[in-house]
Structure 1
Amino acid sequence: MASDTVLEKNDEVDLALTWSGRWTLAHRILAVNVLTLALVALAIVYLDSYRNRLEKERIHKVSAEASMAAIALKSVPPGRHEALLADLSRHNESRIRLYGPDGKLALDSWHLTGPTYRLRDPTTQKWTKDVARALDRGFNALVGEESPDEFVEPAADTADAWQEVMASRRSGRTETEIRQAPELTPVFSAAAPAAGGYTLLVTDNDRAFTRTVRKQRRSLMVALGAVAILSILLSLFLARTIVRPLRRIAFAAHRVRLGRAREVKVPRLPSRTDEIGLLARSISDMSQSLRHRIDNIEAFAADVTHELKNPLASLRSAVEGLERIEDPALRKQLVDVIRQDVVRLDRLISDVGEAARTDAELARARFEPVDLGALIGQLVSAWETRRETGNVRIAFARPRRASAIVMGEPGRLARAIDNIIDNAISFSPPGGLVEIAATHVGDEILIRIDDEGPGVPHELREAIFNRFHSVRPKAESFGRHSGLGLAIARAIVEGHDGEIDVADRDDAPSGARFTIKLKAADRA
């Protein structure tokens, strides 16, 4: 047993949460998903912003090269133009072309220096380049980036084959353009107006740009891998905080269902304020309530067995005596005993059935507004007209109409109040007065039933509500009460979330005062 206690304590500690104990499950799941998505989104935004920034720098570089080359042409004699453009082309690893006013190609740096860059055929490259290009396309689609036009050297290299050259001629300013080589590396170009109606065109296949972007992307992929690992760890954390306690709770519920243990302790997880904690405490309370109900049923069955044995034993003894006794007077006494035992058994069985049905019926009942003033008035009239009260009088201080309304089941409430009135009448002396009142106090309805009997000793004020409590007035006829009336009354009142108690009267020399407290119905 001690090991079980230690295990349960370890379970509570093992399933408890520390810093996240006040987070609901929805908050935790949302936090994991949002964190992962947020980091991915930030990575994408950062890479897109980085690429755009780098692209602007490269465009500015080509534009500045074209502008400076056009200015430099003005400062050197025509005979030095070829050498100047050749030097600039070799230094910047670009191709510089000069178109005359008629649009024809006047000068090409590659004719002097040879190619300074080479467009590569993607079909001759390794598969790793295909993967890189696929990632490039995927990223562009993800950020909504439109693919630039493919760079193709014109068959007739004239000014009108280049839209940036024509734009520069129209605007008189430097114009730029971005195109895409076959292996998806960018080709930056810039056209700038030169002296004498000439236009200078600079093109540059900047492979370093692509290498830089891809290197940055690899770094972000490493970071996203770390994010993925973090997400897995957070998922494992969620599994620990959700799956493991649920498994423990389910196992405890299974043990409750099997019923092999007298009492199964379900982890209550008091430190957890999330849904798992609420579930654990609800199931724990449910199992305790079930255990309590089972104990009550077992005790009730034992009490019923005990109570039935007494009249049955008396009945059997009387029946056996009838066979041996010939004296008519004694036989008449035995017949009276048999009749009383039958009456007692009938009353006992009726009350046992009523007690057994009370909890189940209240659990299924649909409560409705009940005017206790009218209800008690009907009960009092029934006692005065159809029931025997001896010469005991009943006085009911009827409340104002609709001032004592509760939510409840009318038949059950009537039975509870009727049982208390019956008890008060049975203990009242000849000519006594039973006083009944119902008042609205705060948010409660108080029902007070006073009698002029001997009262209830302090040590018995709780015991009288137990089932089969058998202390009865000496003058009461045999078999009239089973000892279940007050127990049924308490079960009904507590089933309506009310309270019932008994005390001595403070306004009379003797007598008991039963008080029923019920929550008043909300007024519309």
Structure 2
Amino acid sequence: MASDIDLARNDETDLVLTWSGRWTLTHRILAVNVLTLVLVLLAILYLDSYRNRLERERVHKVEAMTEFAAVALAEVPPARREALMATLSRQSSARLRLYSADGTLAHDSWTVTGPTYRLRDPTTQKWTKDVARALDRGFNALVGEKNDEDFVEPEVDNAAAWEEVVAARSSGKAHTAIRQAPELTPVFSAAAPVGDGSILLISDNDRSFTRTVRKQRGSLLIALAVVLLLSVLLSLFLARTIVQPLRRIALAAHRVRLGRAREVRVPRLPSRSDEIGLLARSVSDMSQSLRHRIDNIEAFAADVTHELKNPLASLRSAIDGLERIEDPALRNQLVDVIRQDVVRLDRLIGDIGEAARTDAELARARFEPVDLGDLIGQLVSSWETRRETGDVRIAFARPRRASALVMGEPSRLARAIDNLIDNAISFSPPGGLVEIAATHVGDRILVRIDDEGPGVPEQLREAIFNRFHSVRPEAESFGRHSGLGLAIARAIVEGHDGEIDVADRDDAPSGARFTITLKAADRA
């Protein structure tokens, strides 16, 4: 138990939020998910845009070089073309091929320079290259990039074997193509007419393009790792702001359920204005209300036990006396005592049941518009019909119809007002007058019940609303009141979010004034 209490009083500073305290849980969760997705999306879009831009630049470079070389070849004699092509091949590391007008291969720079680039077999490369190629395929699939056509040297090398050469011959303009080497590096090629019917084809396996793109993709992987780390940190942040407070609240609720600690302190988190703060304060208020109700039930049970013992003790004494007393007069007196005790017990048990049911019935009741003018009028008529007022008169200043409307449960409100009328009649002197009024003041309805009795001393004005308060008029018949009437009236009024109080009358020499204050109902 001690450990429970100590834990309940732990510092709540680890649950307090600072800058994010005004963010709702929905905002935080959306921020984490959206931020991660946005960062990844931006990185992918940037890299895809970068790759496409770099690819266009390389294609334009090959195309420009081909057009320039075609112009240069057209200006030199045919005998010098092979030497010029070899020079250009050495400078650019590209392969130059010249096809004659009939489509046959006239010159190839590699016959002079040897291969200036080499298509590599992926099976002979390290595993790191396999990983890089797998990442390339994955990224292309992610952005929807179509794979380029595989680059294969034709078995018969002539103009018809190359689409760009055929297109350049038919259109008279330069045409380009991009193919894919076996290790997924690009082969850029361009064909342009020379002017005498021959076509120049330049091809280049640009490995630097792949290295540049893969370097950028490596940067993307680092960025994704940073995003992942950020996502983890944000998830921990959400765990701290959501899971930890919920766990603390759940633990406190569990201790309340077990009931092992008398005082269980549920964290209220006053600095948080989000749903967690609202939940914490609601659970805290609920636990305090539950604790208050349990205390009231315990006190009520103790009071009931005490109140029942008095008439039972009187009954026991009277019954024991009947066995020993032979005098008929004394026996009649004892029988009368027994009768009064039975009446008192009957009244007490009925009022105890009424008091016990009040809170539960109000919690389940569906409030409806109630015209207090009509309700009080029916109560007054009932008192006059039963003639239980003795010679005490009742005067009711009936308000205009529907001018004293409240939202409530009619039978409960009738019981509260009836208890106050009963109390006023019991304290009124012979021939006294009980005055009742219901008025609409601002947004409130005031029900006033005045009597001409001795009034209520100031020091007892709170105590009279306690259960089993037993200060009664000396002339009242024994057992007529249980001391629960005013307590029931207060419980009913407070269950309607109203107030009840008592004061001295200011318009008469003596007497008490009970006032019920309820919120007025909205008129349709």
TM-score normalized with structure 1 length: 0.95
SS of corresponding position for 1:438: strand
CA distance in 1, matches of 2:201, 2:506: 114
Q: Which residue of 2 aligns with 1:421?
A: 421
Partner of 1:464: 464
Answer whether contact 2:74 2:196 (CA < 8 A) is retained. Answer: no
In the other structure, the counterpart of 2:496 is 496
Identify the residue that residue 377 of structure 2 maps to in structure 1. Answer: 377
Q: Distance in 2 between matches of 1:332 and 1:84?
A: 148
Provide Cα deviations, 1:454-501, integer angstroms capped at 9, x if missing partner. Answer: 222222111111111111112211111111001001111111111111
Q: How far apart are 1:304 and its partner, in Å?
A: 1.0
Equivalent residue number for residue 322 of structure 1: 322
Q: 1:465 to 1:301 in 2, by over 3 A?
A: same
2:250 maps to 1:247: no
Instruction: Name the counterpart of 1:122.
Output: 122
Tell me the distance in 2 between the aligned counterparts of 1:347 and 1:305.
15
Contact kept in structure 2, 1:11 and 1:267, CA below 8 Å: no
Question: CA separation in 1, counterparts of 2:273 and 2:374?
Answer: 46
AA partner of residue 447 (structure 1): V
| CA displacement 1:210-235 (0-9 Å, x = unmatched) | 11111211122122112212222222
Counterpart residue identity of residue 419, structure 1: N
The number of residues matched between the two structures is 524
How big is each residue's C-alpha offset from its partner over 1:490-513, in whole Å with a ceiling of 9 and x where there is no partner? 111111111111122223232222
Name the stretch that deviates more: 425-434 or 121-130: 121-130
AA paired with 2:211?
R
> Distance in 1 between the 2:387 and 2:119 partners?
114
Which residue pairs with 1:137 in the alignment? 137
Secondary structure at the counterpart of residue 329 of structure 1: helix
The separation in 1 between residues aligned to 2:279 and 2:83, in whole angstroms, is: 86
Cα deviation, 1:286-345, whole Å, max 9, x if unaligned, reads 111111111111111111111112112222222222222222222222222211111111
- Partner Cα separation in structure 2 for residue 156 and residue 522 of structure 1: 97
Q: Which residue of 2 aligns with 1:522?
A: 522
Tell me which moved more, 161-170 or 384-393. Answer: 161-170
SS at match of 2:417: helix
8 Å Cα contact 2:122/2:183 also seen in 1: yes
Matches within 5 A, 1:344-359: 344-359=344-359
CA–CA distance in structure 2, aligned partners of residues 487 and 248 of structure 1: 38
Spell out the pairing of 1:92-491 with structure 2 (5 A cutoff). Answer: 92-491=92-491
Ranges in structure 2 where 5+ consecutive residues have no aligned partner:
none
1:169/1:387 CA distance change after superposition, 3 Å:
farther
2:334 and 2:485 map into 1 onto residues whose CA distance is 28
* Aligned-pair identity (%): 83
The alignment partner of 2:19 has SS state of: coil
**Cα shift at 1:360:** 1.2
Following superposition of structure 1 onto structure 2, how do residues 24-35 of structure 1 map, counting pairs within 5 Å?
24-35=24-35
What residue is the counterpart of 1:44 in the other structure? Answer: 44
How far off its partner does 1:168 sit? 2.6
Q: Secondary structure of the residue that 1:363 maps to in structure 2? A: helix
**2-structure distance, mates of 1:83, 1:357:** 113
| Amino acid corresponding to residue 71 of structure 1 in structure 2 | V
Q: How far off its partner does 1:172 sit?
A: 3.2
Q: CA deviation at 1:9?
A: 5.3
- Taking the aligned partners of 2:23 and 2:407, their CA distance within structure 1 comes to 37
Aligned-partner residue type, residue 130 of structure 1: D
Give me the whole-angstrom Cα distance separating, in 2, the residues matched to 1:6 and 1:12. Answer: 13
2:12 is paired with a residue whose SS is: helix
Q: Write the distance in 2 (CA, Å) between the matches of 1:462 and 1:8.
A: 34
Q: What is the one-letter code of the residue matched to 1:145?
A: E
Q: Distance in 1 between matches of 2:100 and 2:376?
A: 116
How far apart are residue 368 of structure 1 and its match? 2.3
- Residue of structure 1 in register with 2:87 after alignment: 87
- Whether 1:513 aligns to 2:504 is no
The residue number in structure 2 matching 1:67 is 67
Deviation string, structure 1 residues 253-278 (Cα, Å, up to 9, x no partner): 22211212111111222222222222
The 2-side partners of 1:287 and 1:364 are apart by 20
Q: Deviations over 1:43-67 (max 9, x none)?
A: 1112112211211221121112112
Instruction: Mark the CA change 1:297 to 1:6 in structure 2 (over 3 Å): closer, same or farther.
Output: closer
- Name the aligned partner's letter for residue 312 of structure 1: L
Query: 1:244 Cα shift?
Result: 2.1
Checking the alignment, whether the CA contact within 8 Å between 1:150 and 1:179 is kept in structure 2 is: yes
Q: Distance in 2 between matches of 1:492 and 1:197?
A: 109
Between 42-51 and 273-282, report the one with greater CA deviation. 273-282
Task: State the alpha-carbon separation in 2 of the partners of residues 147 and 502 from structure 1.
Answer: 91
Q: Which runs of 5+ in 1 are unaligned?
A: none
Give secondary structure in 2 for the equivalent of 1:21: helix
Helix, strand or coil at the partner of 2:176: strand
Contact 1:393–1:434 (Cα < 8 Å) also in 2: yes
| Equivalent-residue separation in structure 2 for 1:2 and 1:509 (angstroms) | 58
Letter in structure 2 aligned against 1:418: D
Aligned-residue offset at 1:5: 7.8
Q: Return the alpha-carbon distance in structure 2 between the equivalents of residues 387 and 493 of structure 1.
A: 27
Cα gap change, 1:254 to 1:523, in 2 (>3 Å): same
Amino acid at match of 1:44: I
Q: Deviations over 1:422-466 (max 9, x none)?
A: 111111222222222223333322222222222222221111111
Amino acid of the structure 1 residue aligned with 2:101: P
Report what 2:16 is aligned to.
16
Q: How big is the alpha-carbon RMSD for the aligned residues of Structure 1 and Structure 2?
A: 2.0
Question: How far off its partner does 1:6 sit?
Answer: 7.3
Letter in 2 for 1:383: W
| Deviation of the 1:7 alpha carbon | 5.4
The DSSP-based 3-state class of the residue aligned with 1:507 is coil
Residue pair 1:470, 1:482 contacting (<8 A) in 2 also: yes
The answer to whether the Cα contact below 8 Å between 2:454 and 2:512 also exists between their aligned partners in 1 is yes
Name the SS for the 1:342 alignment partner: helix
Secondary structure at the aligned position of 1:509 is classed as coil
2: CA distance, partners of 1:161 / 1:179: 14
Counterpart AA for 2:166 = M
Q: Is the 8 A contact 2:5 2:264 kept in 1?
A: no
- Normalising to structure 2: TM-score of the pair? 0.95
232-241 vs 303-312, which moves further = 232-241
2:196 partner SS: helix
**Alpha-carbon separation, structure 1, partners of 2:503 and 2:362:** 27
Whole-angstrom CA distance in 1 between matches of 2:86 and 2:231 = 56
Greater displacement, 26-35 / 137-146: 26-35
Structure 1 range deviating more: 410-419 or 450-459: 450-459
Check the 8 A contact 2:4/2:261 in 1, yes or no. Answer: no
Equivalent residue letter for 1:436: I
